[in-house]
Structure 1
Amino acid sequence: MEILIILFIISFVSAIIPLFLFISSFYNGIQSSKTYYSKLPLPPGPHPYPIIGNILKLFGTNNPLEAITHLSKTYGPIMTLKLASITTIVISSPQIAKEALHKNDALFSGRKLPVITTWSQSLEDFSKTSLVWMPASAAKWRILRRACATKIFSPQQLDSTQCIRKRKVQDLLNYVHECCIKGEAFDIGEAIFTTIINSMSNTLLSMDLAHYNYFDNNKFHEFKEIMIGLTKETGRPSVSDFLPFLRLLDPQGTRSSTKINFEKMLEFLNSVIEERMHSSSDESRMNFNECNDVLDSFLDLIKQESSELNLNDVIYLFVDLFMAGIDTTSSTLEWAMAELLHNPEKMFKVRAELHQALGKNGKIEESNISKLPYLNAIVKETLRLHPPAPFLIPHKAIDYVELGGFTVPKNAQILVNVWSMGRDSSIWANPNSFEPERFLDSDIDFKGKNFEYIPFGVGRRICPGLPFASRSIHFILASLLYHFHWKLADEMKPQDMDMNYTFGFTLHKTQPLRVLPQSLVVS
């Protein structure tokens, strides 16, 4: 359906091309003069059409990600695409990625604001204070990064909140156990999504915000739907990002739902914080939750005379954490389970490792994870094949930069194709096969030191929640595999699984993974 919409838009644009030819020529002339000024050419790329540029080569296909990867094989590891009004530089090699994100980290630390940030005043305000979209040179960006590092994601803070993650994973196991007893299949991606929401919401706010059964509580259902709506609408490409004159038309019909869901999210967080600030009894909260609460620590920080943060900063930070952390973490876990069910011999091997390490009635702790090399290798292999954000979050050049012998223009959008690098046969043997064994005798990790493998980014824009995501992914996966046998629902065979994905900010399985748990090992 979206392809038909885009083709209609392209037809409309083609009808008014003569009106824009002069503007286009003038724009290209400016670009040429800037290229001349830099004395280096732009990276090579396919010839763009007037107005629409190379949009047809991407969004005229069923798979833009594979289309870009195919073009990179023709034009090289650094390539220029004209996506209508946006000059886009695509990087698809570790060497160029290192030069861009390590050597020139500061110059490539900008962000290209998406069209969604113009859809309401609240979204505009959010983009100016968001850790994701704010310039990395801003003083408040550094303050928020430091606050995240010290008050949420430091090893000490994560140790203090692991009791929350254990409690929420136990809720997941209880739900799976119920399905096991009833012989019911369920959507494991959705169940994991609920678990991650509650792990995050209890860490930040000391409350559950989702439930495994919709009919149990309408409030839980509503928040979960808000999260699903926001991640879906903000994650897919918008044609209005490339053709600004279409922004008022909203051809994909996402403006209204995104605005409504975002304002509901803000309203909810405002009410929680207001209630907390007016609470007269801290003792009741302390009795409710023995673990640290991030909201309390941030409210204490705001009260300090020297504080440079305000309540809006905290609210928008929490929105960032919910939107960026939940969908990417849950999709990675769903892909891990899908790959293991698709490769039963790998499932058998990791379960054998778990039971050998923990025994028959052992308890999984986050501290056990480092002693499970094959489980760790499975997570690494999943992130190689299915990186949470296939192009990372797009960077922007804040000035002219020389890269790989070419000029990257100021304000160009930078896409780092980590999906392509993860499937590059010059880097990985049998790149399209799920082979965790490749990581067993390897020092490669995903913390930003190995540029052939940067699923969480690198440099100053590396994902601040990486430590939380890593602990959650390993702990939840180990718990599911240790406590249950797994098989596909509806008598599906592994070789018949649909392993296709839907293109967006996060790559989701086209078909949700329905599973049937069996034979509870321990209670």
Structure 2
Amino acid sequence: MSTFLQSSLSQKSLYSLFPMIFFTIFPLFLISLFFIIKYWYVNNSSVTQKTTLASPPRLPILGNLHQLGILPQRSLQNLSHKYGPLMLLYFGKFPVLVVSSADAARKIMKTHDLVFSDRPHSKMFDILFYGSKDVATCAYGEYWRQIRSLSVIHLLSSKRVRSYHHVREEETLRMMEYIKESCCSSASPLNLTELLSTITNDIICRVTFGKRYREGRGVKLQEVLSEFEELLGTVFIGDYIPWLDWLGKVNGLDRRAEKCAKYLDEFLEQVIEEHISHRFRNDTVDNEEHSDFVDVLLSVQKTDAIDFPIDRTSVKAVILDMFAAGTDTTYAVLDWAMTELLRHQTVMHKLQDEVRTLVGNKTHVTEEDLVNMNYLKAVIKETLRLHLPVPLLLPRKSMEDIKLDGYDIASGTQVIVNAWAIARDPSSWEEPLEFKPERFMNSSKDFKGLDFEFIPFGAGRRGCPGVMFAIAVNELVLANLVYQFEWQLPDGVAGENLDMSETGGITCHRKYPLLAVASKI
């Protein structure tokens, strides 16, 4: 009986405590709930803000990779018309910010240039460029600063570029003589694409290695370089979907890249050894007026001229950058320039009038003659605008979280600047799809990275350091072609009917060779 009463009293005591417990804990619960809701709201608002950046629907696993197409610059331009000049895609699981306006490009490459100066990892670049140790693809940091400084000061300075004028002039004359002989022996059309590729390769071989490579080893080298350029524009699916990296072995892509890299490495090793054996034997290279790039790099390495140790691998990576990248993009511009001149005979004649008036009765154009050829410069600028050699600039990567136009961009986000779309943006250019060099006459717009509606060579820290060299080749070769010859399309083909199809890949080339008939003036 007493036990039952004690139990009942204990239960009554507990019941009496409920109000006290409730009114003590409930306020604490409400306060906690308030902070939980506030925390959720703030974070959810941030997520919402991130996701409000326009983004096309994506597939599981692939993300938006399937939307790139064969010509990604065009596919991305079409998407930007719907989702805006700043849009977020996903390549696999990785976020990729696509930039399609001059204003947005300025914020990436000027306002926040430092934040977006890194490069995303690429297995292809690692294989082909010695673990991405070249200037173009290496990660941002002290190594990049030193290796870029080496390239800008010792290889591509104004003085160094001018010192190679004799190489450019000699090789240009050689090509002109070949065209003259072809005119005399046959009325068959010339393969201008092949000729322009050859002269560009010869100039850059001599500047880089000290001699041409055509016959024998040179033939094989050209084949491997073509493979190299094709591989650069190929996507390793494992870069974006890591668990599918094994596909590179199954489809043979790994083997192709490794075989190409092995051949180029053996070639560069042989070239370097030849230079060490023949040029450094008596330590005379520093006294040579026209040292090639290999000479210069080996001299810098030997003398520690930059207070930064560079090993053999770095030397080869930089040489490959200058040689492979420079050849492909430079001849692409010449090929497209002649294509547009053949399509627009009025422009061709206007350019010929300028060149022939300024050169007079000389047998050929020299670099001294180019200074006042303003229309020639306008033709090359317009070619670069309409036919960017690298339509999508090499991707960048954000090194920290940043707010851009009110959107939160996470650290590690890749950035693709669609320079091709920007150069055809009607908000920046009148009649953007028309070839009109006159738009650059009496205009301050240039390709040096200050005018973001026109960035064929990029801008900011990651801008191309070889601009002056490429333009020097383009101006001299094009001026001589129009000065010494009249040009027509074969078989009476009208300019408007010329096939303008493009290739995919990192560099935009003509899909079909450019054939033209030359006649001496």
Does TM, normalized by the shorter one, top 0.5? yes
Distance 2:417 2:197 in 1: 26
Structure 2 residue 123 is matched with structure 1 residue 115: yes
Q: Deviations over 1:42-79 (max 9, x none)?
A: 621112122121233333xx543222111111111100
Distance 1:514 1:244 in 2: 44
C-alpha displacement of 1:90? 0.7
C-alpha displacement of 1:34? 10
C-alpha displacement of 1:189? 1.8
Distance 1:334 1:34 in 2: 52
Q: Deviations over 1:209-232 (max 9, x none)?
A: 23xxxxxx2222111111111012
- Contact 1:43–1:79, Cα closer than 8 Å, also in 2: yes
Rg bigger for which structure? 2
One-letter code aligned to 1:87? P
Partner SS, residue 517 of structure 2: strand
* CA 1:135–1:239: 2 relative to 1, 3 Å: closer
Distance 1:182 1:352 in 2: 27
Residues 269-288 of structure 1 mapped to structure 2, 5 A cutoff: 269-279=268-278
Structure 2 residue 378 is matched with structure 1 residue 377: yes
Distance 1:204 1:304 in 2: 20
Which of 208, 221, 224 lines up with 2:222 in the alignment? Answer: 224
Partner SS, residue 81 of structure 1: strand
Distance 2:139 2:44 in 1: 24
Q: Deviations over 1:372-405 (max 9, x none)?
A: 1111110010011111111111111122121121
Structure 2 residue 173 is matched with structure 1 residue 170: yes
Distance 2:492 2:262 in 1: 43
The CA RMSD measured in Å over matched residues stands at 2.4
Structure 2 residue 82 is matched with structure 1 residue 85: no
2:30 counterpart residue number: none
2:137 counterpart residue number: 133
- Contact 2:172–2:477, Cα closer than 8 Å, also in 1: yes
Residues 149-160 of structure 1 mapped to structure 2, 5 A cutoff: 149-160=152-163
1:201 counterpart residue number: 205
- Contact 1:392–1:416, Cα closer than 8 Å, also in 2: yes
* CA 1:345–1:237: 2 relative to 1, 3 Å: farther
Residues 319-398 of structure 1 mapped to structure 2, 5 A cutoff: 319-398=320-399
* CA 1:279–1:448: 2 relative to 1, 3 Å: same
Structure 2 residue 427 is matched with structure 1 residue 426: yes
2:22 counterpart residue number: none
1:14 counterpart residue number: none
Distance 2:506 2:132 in 1: 20
Partner SS, residue 127 of structure 1: coil
Distance 2:108 2:419 in 1: 14
One-letter code aligned to 2:110? H
Unaligned segments of structure 1, at least 5 residues: 1-31, 211-216
> Which stretch shows the higher mean deviation, 458-467 or 270-279?
270-279
One-letter code aligned to 1:277? I
> Which stretch shows the higher mean deviation, 302-311 or 437-446?
302-311
Unaligned segments of structure 2, at least 5 residues: 1-41
- Contact 2:146–2:308, Cα closer than 8 Å, also in 1: no
Distance 1:33 1:512 in 2: 56
- Contact 1:187–1:514, Cα closer than 8 Å, also in 2: yes
2:318 counterpart residue number: 317
Q: Deviations over 1:424-471 (max 9, x none)?
A: 111111110000011102000000010111110001100011110111
* CA 1:37–1:389: 2 relative to 1, 3 Å: same
Q: Deviations over 1:162-193 (max 9, x none)?
A: 11111111222222223222223232122211
Partner SS, residue 501 of structure 1: coil
> Which stretch shows the higher mean deviation, 127-136 or 334-343?
127-136
- Contact 1:237–1:504, Cα closer than 8 Å, also in 2: no
Q: How many residues were matched structurally?
A: 474
Distance 2:193 2:410 in 1: 41
> Which stretch shows the higher mean deviation, 245-254 or 199-208?
245-254
Distance 1:335 1:170 in 2: 21
Q: Deviations over 1:184-213 (max 9, x none)?
A: 323212221121122112112211023xxx
C-alpha displacement of 1:490? 4.4
TM-score (norm 1): 0.85
Distance 1:236 1:40 in 2: 30
Structure 2 residue 275 is matched with structure 1 residue 265: no
Distance 1:503 1:87 in 2: 23
C-alpha displacement of 1:326? 0.9
Distance 1:167 1:283 in 2: 28
One-letter code aligned to 2:447? F
C-alpha displacement of 1:325? 0.9
Distance 1:262 1:489 in 2: 39
- Contact 1:375–1:474, Cα closer than 8 Å, also in 2: yes
Partner SS, residue 43 of structure 1: coil
Partner SS, residue 505 of structure 1: coil
Distance 1:279 1:232 in 2: 34
Structure 2 residue 297 is matched with structure 1 residue 298: yes
Partner SS, residue 475 of structure 1: helix
1:75 counterpart residue number: 83
* CA 1:89–1:314: 2 relative to 1, 3 Å: same
One-letter code aligned to 1:292? S
One-letter code aligned to 1:157? R
Distance 2:424 2:280 in 1: 55
TM-score (norm 2): 0.86
Distance 2:95 2:310 in 1: 35
- Contact 1:42–1:80, Cα closer than 8 Å, also in 2: no
Structure 2 residue 146 is matched with structure 1 residue 147: no
C-alpha displacement of 1:371? 0.6
- Contact 1:351–1:482, Cα closer than 8 Å, also in 2: yes
* CA 1:231–1:207: 2 relative to 1, 3 Å: same
> Which stretch shows the higher mean deviation, 40-49 or 411-420?
40-49
> Which stretch shows the higher mean deviation, 63-72 or 359-368?
359-368
1:188 counterpart residue number: 192
C-alpha displacement of 1:253? 4.0
2:59 counterpart residue number: 49
